[in-house]
Structure 1
Amino acid sequence: MLGWFNKSAQGSGLLAVAIEPEAIKFAHVRAANRDRPMATRWWSVPCPASEQAGSLQRETKEHGLARFTCTTLLEPADYQILLVEPPKVPADELKAAIRWRIKDQLEYHVDDATVDVFEVRAEGDPKGSARAMYAVATRNEVVQKRITLFQDARIPLKVIDIPEMAQRNVAALFESPDKATAMLAFSSWGGLLTISFHGELLLTRRLEVTSVQLGQREHGDHYRERVATEITRSLDIFDRQRLSVGVGEVVLAPLPQDPELEQFLRSRLYVPVVVAALPQVMDFADGGEPTPEEQWEYFYLFGAALRVEEKAL
């Protein structure tokens, strides 16, 4: 059976794959040499965890996924993201120093962890002069299991990514030239606030409020108030970092479960709040724009597929 992707698309773009407890989800985006990124396909295959390997292999065969470079997203429960003070060590010793600093904050022994880091720098600061750093740590077994899953399906896996970076990629499409952009998104596992500027992630914070809770008719305002409070605190923290740039607006990711959140936040926050509709900044193949529900469901996958190559620290 021929796949959905024609031969002209072979090898182009990035295919993002999410391995979720009850489904495997896919999104393919072409961003290079385009004024606006184009999402060509997005789809989901229901399957329990015990059938993930077989399902991924079947999708690979049916749609020719082995032709595409892929990225995959971890679930937040699979990793920790920690804010750390930059150690004053040579670049080639940085990751070892970071591992030492975070070892007591991990839920397992640091020798069992895969760790990566990225800098938080003010506008104009040279590389190596970070004001802070984020360390991302996950168990080695989580990484190896994901790599094996893709190897068995013969899919070329380029990178294992996290929702924070995927959200930053989407936020970059809404950025203004002189102000930082705060983006707020909610999923079944909780909320995520990111603040970025010129494609650089400056602050990230998880909120213990889910899309399901915000959609509750009886207790919705209680959870909205919690969200507003957490955002205000985060904006205040960001202002105190003195990164030479302020937040221009809060961009609310698609959230069809709670149409009232936008107006609620506008009444509580001291910065403008706007709603992000992905068709404002992306094209979709054959004019098949995703519904609001699909924009919410595939938000992080679209973001992961927008990834551009980054230089390691």
Structure 2
Amino acid sequence: MALFARAKKREGLLATAWTNEGVCAALVQLRTGDKPQVKAVLWHAGAKLAAAPAPAMEKLNKEMQAASYRCSTLLGAADYQLLSLEAPNVPAEELKTAVGWRLKDMLDFPLADATIDVFDIPPDQNAPVRGQSVFAVAARNAAVAQRQGNYAAAKIALSVIDIPEMAQRNIAALLETPGRGLAMLSFDGDGGLLTVNFNTELYLSRRIDVKLTQLAEGSDDQKQQYYDKITLELQRSFDHFDRQFHFINVIKLILAPTGTDGLHGYLADNLYMPVEVLDLSAVFDLAGLAPLQDAVGQARFFLTLGAALRQEAAAP
């Protein structure tokens, strides 16, 4: 019997996201038969925190007791590439290596500088021949090492390095209608992110080159151009999705909080499917936390909260 047992982590996952404006942190506890509860959130403003993260990590540890929880962090859009491709016909233990070689000419950085991960895109269960596709994540080693180093320097254990697509998938999964597809669209400092879920799995991801600040601060003429661009990209993406995944009926588009006016009405008037605006209180128990009581705050923490929904067995 061990004389000194390792301290058990508290319930909940503490997720962080490093943005161009600062660092978001959110602690979420999952509850059986009830909404996930947001236990705490933290915003540490500062455009240069990625280069000098120590103050943010110190604040994270002091105000949220980060060392007491399982912790995850989200990569930024520039830190990785997510690509879909046909699964190589190789044994499972060789899959990542085989996918890596297929990605060699598809990446905008050298394969030697990438950490590769792979997850399935489930096929049509009723198809006579089931072709298997996968998503491949190629993360820049430098970005991964930087996040690991930030946490190690602060003596905080880092359990997971995640990507925004999976964070958004987690929130969309709580809003799905069984047996139907659900599209979700969000915006932040990296631009727009469109995902499509089916049976809680991610089937489509598209980036849209329109940032949240552009939607919030652009002139009326500029906003009209952004709305047109977004709508065209959505229409093209849904047409492509219908051809590739004809067995999935996408019944609506959920627009994540933006804190801006105009986009919802424009999309509702120009898309063939219903468009709804998400209030995060429909998904989470926000516990009266002030930063999450308006759409601006919800937009800031949206992906961080999604990352904190990740379910996995806690480390012993």
Q: TM-score, normalised by structure 1?
A: 0.90
Q: What is the rounded CA distance, in whole Å, between the counterparts of 1:249 and 1:97 in structure 2?
A: 36
Contact 2:31 2:37 in 1 (8 A): no
Contact 2:88 2:99 in 1 (8 A): yes
Helix, strand or coil: the match of 2:307? Answer: helix
2:269 is matched with which residue?
267
Q: What is the rounded CA distance, in whole Å, between the counterparts of 1:242 and 1:63 in structure 2?
A: 42
Deviations 1:241-295 (A, max 9, x none): 13522101000101112x2111111111111111111101211124755311111
1:122 is matched with which residue?
123
Q: What is the rounded CA distance, in whole Å, between the counterparts of 1:242 and 1:24 in structure 2?
A: 37
Residue 123 of structure 1, CA deviation: 5.0
Task: Judge which range, 267-276 or 103-112, deviates more.
Answer: 103-112
Deviations 1:107-160 (A, max 9, x none): 23212210111111135489xx66321111122121111111111112121110
Alpha-carbon distance change, 173 to 123 in structure 1, aligned in 2, over 3 angstroms: farther
2:258 is matched with which residue?
255
Alpha-carbon distance change, 103 to 244 in structure 1, aligned in 2, over 3 angstroms: same
1:302 is matched with which residue?
305
User: Is 1:220 the equivalent of 2:219?
Assistant: no
**Partner AA of 1:142 in structure 2:** A
**Partner AA of 1:237 in structure 2:** H
Helix, strand or coil: the match of 1:192? Answer: strand
Q: What is the rounded CA distance, in whole Å, between the counterparts of 1:174 and 1:236 in structure 2?
A: 22
User: Is 1:191 the equivalent of 2:176?
Assistant: no
Alpha-carbon distance change, 60 to 97 in structure 1, aligned in 2, over 3 angstroms: same
Q: TM-score, normalised by structure 2?
A: 0.89
Alpha-carbon distance change, 243 to 159 in structure 1, aligned in 2, over 3 angstroms: farther
1:205 is matched with which residue?
206
Task: Judge which range, 140-149 or 71-80, deviates more.
Answer: 140-149
Q: What is the rounded CA distance, in whole Å, between the counterparts of 1:19 and 1:269 in structure 2?
A: 33
User: Is 1:106 the equivalent of 2:107?
Assistant: yes
Q: Percent identity?
A: 40
Give the number of aligned pairs: 299
Q: What is the rounded CA distance, in whole Å, between the counterparts of 1:141 and 1:237 in structure 2?
A: 34
**Partner AA of 1:42 in structure 2:** V
**Partner AA of 2:258 in structure 1:** L
User: Is 1:11 the equivalent of 2:10?
Assistant: yes
- RMSD (Å) for aligned C-alpha atoms: 2.0
Contact 2:40 2:289 in 1 (8 A): no
Q: Which runs of 5+ in 2 are unaligned?
A: 1-7
Deviations 1:44-74 (A, max 9, x none): 1123234312330243134321001111001
**Partner AA of 1:151 in structure 2:** A
Q: Counterparts of 1:88-167 in structure 2 under 5 Å?
A: 88-122=89-123, 124=125, 131-167=132-168
1:41 is matched with which residue?
40
User: Match for 1:277 among 260, 276, 279?
Assistant: 279
Q: Which runs of 5+ in 1 are unaligned?
A: 1-8
Q: What is the rounded CA distance, in whole Å, between the counterparts of 2:288 and 2:214 in structure 1?
A: 35
Alpha-carbon distance change, 230 to 184 in structure 1, aligned in 2, over 3 angstroms: same
Alpha-carbon distance change, 182 to 15 in structure 1, aligned in 2, over 3 angstroms: same
**Partner AA of 1:187 in structure 2:** D
Q: What is the rounded CA distance, in whole Å, between the counterparts of 1:34 and 1:76 in structure 2?
A: 34
**Partner AA of 2:35 in structure 1:** R
Residue 177 of structure 1, CA deviation: 0.8
Contact 1:24 1:56 in 2 (8 A): no
1:244 is matched with which residue?
247
Alpha-carbon distance change, 299 to 125 in structure 1, aligned in 2, over 3 angstroms: farther
Contact 1:118 1:134 in 2 (8 A): yes
